[in-house]
Every structure is written in structure tokens, then in C-alpha cells.
Amino acid sequence: MKIAIVLHPFRSEAADVAAGFVAQAQARGHLVEIAESDAGRVPAAAVRPDGAAIAADLVVGVGGDGTVIEALRQGITADAPVMGVNAGHMGFLTEIEPARIPEALDAIESGRYLLSERMTLEARVAGSEPRLAINDAVIEKTVTQHVIRVAAWVGDDRLIGYRADGVVVATPTGSTAYNFSAGGPLVDPELDALVVTPVAPHTLFGRPLVFGPEVLLRFEVEGDRTARINLDGRSWCELEPGDSVEVVRAAQRIRFLRLAPRNFARSVREKFHLHDA
């Protein structure tokens, strides 16, 4: 089997975990490669030129949730499932802790695993190619002290005009990220839904809303202040007053490799340490 590793860019413990994974996988006869820029941190792995598309049977993200998101992006291109190994803090998207690497390799080799498919988002701005988001698309202010005015449309119906620091549109997978910090709900990632959560709203109605997967959401910048769009935490483009962005469910789906069915309630309890709550 060919395995590609996506490594946290600077965390030293992630490099140590990746080196252990490489040693164990190579001892079993698997080819493991890593990006050229990370080769010095994990010297035993084969080297893939920076920027080259991944071609592998499995992509392994070693780090935290941000690293797993990057692994998922590359997994879509490679048409390969992704497994996250936690070398971070919460690691909501990671499947295993480092101590379980041998167990994971056993399960993969024997075919005793599950694939969990999840939805992604497509964001569209006039004059630009559509972009993919795995966690969320965020329309937010560009000046720290200002709020922005954003009108939300659902299909042809104007829903509400927000005065807020921003508006998050999240997938269920991304509901544990910025959406959660902004007061949005946690959503079972096995569902297909679009979660809309205003950030620090200055409007009478500021509740999060959850829509079915077939809706087309549109957000238009009103007033005289610019906004910008971030996709999975990466800045994409600025919106002038009168500009808008559409957000829909994308055709592409991400695939997580799981060792066992995931119980959403149990995951929430464990990741947020709710045992004594």
C-alpha cells in the first residue's frame, strides 16, 4: 500500500509521531511518502516534491484538526480516504491516538475498517472560479472596529439582514470549529446540512439556523463597508458593497477512514471532557 503523510507544519511532536508511523508502516512493507519540505523532520520517508499532487491509497494527517483538513483537501484530489492521527490538543477530526497506530495498520491490512463520507461546500463569487470548503465559508468584516451588514437569502427569499462581525456557513464536519466558537450547534457529521451562525450579531434575531442540503444560500454585502470571504480559515477574496457570495452543498465528498462506527454523542462527551458534567 502507498501511504501519503500530511504533517503539521511546525509541531515537533507531530514529526515524532509521523516518524513512528513511518517506521511501523515500512516494517510491514508499505511505501510511505512525505512532502519534500518535511523530509528533514521525518527522514526515513520517501519524498514527494512540494506542490506535487498526492497519488496514494491512503492519506494520513498527523497533527490537529487543521492538519486533517489539509489532508482531506489532498485526499479529494487523490481520490483516497483520510485517517487522522492526533498530535494536537482536542483533535475532533482525528481518528486515533499515536498509541493505536499498530492497531490501525492491522485493521487497514485486514480490511476491518469503515469509510465515512461527508459533505463539503461550494462557494461562488461572480467573476471567480467556485471554491471548495470542508469546514466552513465565512463572510466577515475587514476592519476590526466595524460591523458589517450582510443580507441572507434562501433561494429567492430574503431571510434577514445581519449587522454582525460576520456570518459562518458550516458543514456538519465544521460545526465543531468556528461555528461552535460563535455559538452555533454541534451537528452529527453523518448528516448533510448547512449551518448558518452569525458572529457577534447586533440584530434582534441572531440565532443559528440549520438548512437542508438542497438549499442555495446567498449573502449580499449591504451598506458602505467591505467584507471578505474565508474558506476553512484561508482568505479568498474581498466583497465590495453590493457584491454577493452563494454557498451550496458541493458535489465532492470527503472520506474518513474509521476503525469502528463513531458514536457522535460519545465523541462529544470525550472530546469536550463532559464525563463529570
For the annotated catalytic residues, the residue numbers are 65
Question: Each residue of 43-59: b (16+ CB within 10 Å) or e?
Answer: eebeebeeeeebebebb
Contacts of 222 by beta carbon, 8 Å cutoff, 6+ apart: 149, 150, 151, 161, 241
- C-alpha span between 119 and 64 (Å, rounded): 20
Instruction: Give the C-alpha distances (Å, rounded to integers) separating 51 from 15, 48, 69, 277.
Output: 20, 8, 17, 45
Asked if residue 267 lies in contact with residue 190, where contact means CB atoms within 8 angstroms, the answer is no
Nearest CA-CA partner of 179 in 276, 65, 258:
65
What are the backbone dihedrals phi and psi of residue 22, each rounded to the nearest 5 degrees, phi first? -60, -45
Beta bridge partners of 31: 2
- Looking up cell 462557494, which residue turns up? 123
Instruction: Give the C-alpha distances (Å, rounded to integers) separating 49 from 31, 37, 58.
Output: 16, 8, 18
| Burial tier of 16 (Cβ tally within 10 Å: 0-12, 13-18, 19+) | middle
Asked if residue 160 lies in contact with residue 203, where contact means CB atoms within 8 angstroms, the answer is yes
**Which helix or strand (DSSP H or E) is residue 73 part of?**
helix 65-78
Question: How many other β-carbons are positioned within 10 Å of the β-carbon of residue 251?
Answer: 9
- C-alpha span between 17 and 6 (Å, rounded): 12
